[in-house]
Amino acid sequence: MRSGRVIVSVLSVVVALVAGCSGSGDDAPPSSVQGSWHGDIEVPDQPIPIGVTFGDDGSATIDIPVQGVRDAALKDVRTEPDRVEFTIPDVPGDPGFRGKLDGDKLTGNWVQSGQTLPLTLERGEIEGPKRPQEPQPPFPYRSEDVTYRSGNLTIAGTLTEPEGDGPFPAVLLITGSGPQDRDENLMGHRPFLLLADTLTRAGYAVLRTDDRGVGGTGGDLDQATYDDLAGDAVAGLGFLRARPEIDPAKVGLLGHSEGGYLAPMIAQRPGADIAFAILMAGPSVVGADVLIEQNKVIMASAGASQEEIDAQVDYLTRWTTLLRSGDTAGAAAFAQEHNDALPEAERAPQEAVDSFNTPYMASFITYDPTAALQALRVPVLAFFGGTDQQVLVAQNEGPMRDKLAGDPDATVHTFPGLNHLMQPSETGKPSEYSTIETTVDPAVLTYVTDWLTQRVPPR
We report the CATH number of the domain holding residue 152 as 3.40.50.1820
Examine the domain organization and report whether 14 and 53 are in the same domain: yes
pLDDT at residue 31 in the model = 58
CA separation for the pair 459, 449 (Å, rounded): 14
Q: Is residue 133, in this structure, part of any structural domain at all?
A: no
Examine the domain organization and report whether 109 and 164 are in the same domain: no
How many structural domains is the chain composed of? 3
pLDDT at residue 16 in the model = 34
Examine the domain organization and report whether 236 and 383 are in the same domain: yes
Q: Is residue 220, in this structure, part of any structural domain at all?
A: yes
Mean pLDDT for back-to-back runs of 10 residues, the chain (459 residues):
33 33 41 89 83 93 82 93 92 88 93 88 89 95 98 98 96 96 93 98 98 97 97 98 98 98 97 97 98 96 94 96 94 94 80 87 97 98 98 98 98 98 95 92 98 95
Examine the domain organization and report whether 158 and 265 are in the same domain: yes
Beta-carbon count within 10 A of 415 CB = 20
Q: Is residue 297, in this structure, part of any structural domain at all?
A: yes
Examine the domain organization and report whether 264 and 407 are in the same domain: yes
Give the end of a domain, one of 95, 128, 161.
128
pLDDT at residue 188 in the model = 85
pLDDT at residue 8 in the model = 35
Examine the domain organization and report whether 12 and 110 are in the same domain: yes
Give the end of a domain, one of 128, 151, 185.
128
Q: Is residue 135, in this structure, part of any structural domain at all?
A: no
Examine the domain organization and report whether 254 and 188 are in the same domain: yes
Examine the domain organization and report whether 329 and 446 are in the same domain: no
CA distances from 310 to 50, 276, 316, 391 (A): 35, 41, 10, 20
Give the end of a domain, one of 309, 334, 364.
364
3-state secondary structure 252-268: EEEEECHHHHHHHHHHC
Examine the domain organization and report whether 231 and 380 are in the same domain: yes
Residue 4: CATH number of its domain: 2.40.128
Q: Is residue 136, in this structure, part of any structural domain at all?
A: no
Examine the domain organization and report whether 409 and 428 are in the same domain: yes
Examine the domain organization and report whether 376 and 356 are in the same domain: no
pLDDT at residue 143 in the model = 98
CA separation for the pair 438, 191 (Å, rounded): 10
Q: Is residue 153, in this structure, part of any structural domain at all?
A: yes
> Which residue range forms the structural domain that includes residue 332?
287-364
Examine the domain organization and report whether 96 and 1 are in the same domain: yes
Task: Give every CB contact of residue 309 below 8 A, 6+ residues apart in sequence.
Answer: 3, 295, 296, 299, 300
Q: Is residue 240, in this structure, part of any structural domain at all?
A: yes
Q: Is residue 23, in this structure, part of any structural domain at all?
A: yes
